Amino acid sequence: AQKITQTQPGMFVQEKEAVTLDCTYDTSDPSYGLFWYKQPSSGEMIFLIYQGSYDQQNATEGRYSLNFQKARKSANLVISASQLGDSAMYFCAMRPFYSGAGSYQLTFGKGTKLSVIP
């Protein structure tokens, strides 16, 4: 079974500053993927970034980067140069890589609400 923990229910960041959203995970699977999604107040789920457990380098997508520390089982999301439009809920998720039942299920954390202050 997989478990995702996001310990920050809410975060504030000043516009143009960088912010780190924490995510730790627990799994016994040797191979897995980690995902971050953004959910604005309008409700849709927007995929942001993906990291495979065997990827040598940390993933980056524009202003988003994933600080992946496999030994610590953490996959923190870093948003650089925050913008007002970044205010939203952010969810960390993971899925195992193996064939068989459950291998395609994403397990989500409870989310972190980010508020960007002008």
Binding site for another protein (CB under 8 A): 4, 33, 35, 37, 42-47, 50, 52, 91, 93, 95, 97, 101-111
| Residue 100 Ramachandran class (φ > 0 left, ψ -120 to 50 alpha, else beta) | left
Give whichever of 44 and 57 is closer to another protein, judged by the CB atom.
44
Least gap, CB of 37 to another protein (angstroms): 8
Between 3 and 72, name the residue whose CB sits nearer to another protein: 3
Task: Tell me which residue of 109, 98, 106 sits closest to 21, measured CA to CA.
Answer: 109
Distances 6 to 16, 30, 36, 112 between C-alpha atoms, Å: 23, 21, 12, 7
CB of 46 or CB of 118, closer to another protein? 46
- For another protein, the closer CB: 16 or 110: 110
Least distance to another protein from the beta carbon of 23, Å? 11
- Are 40 and 107 within 8 A, CB to CB? no
**Please, what sign has the CA dihedral across residues 42, 60, 82, 68?**
positive
CB 105 within 8 A of CB 54: no
The nearest distance, CB 81 to another protein, in angstroms, is 23
Minimum CB distance to another protein, residue 33 (Å): 6
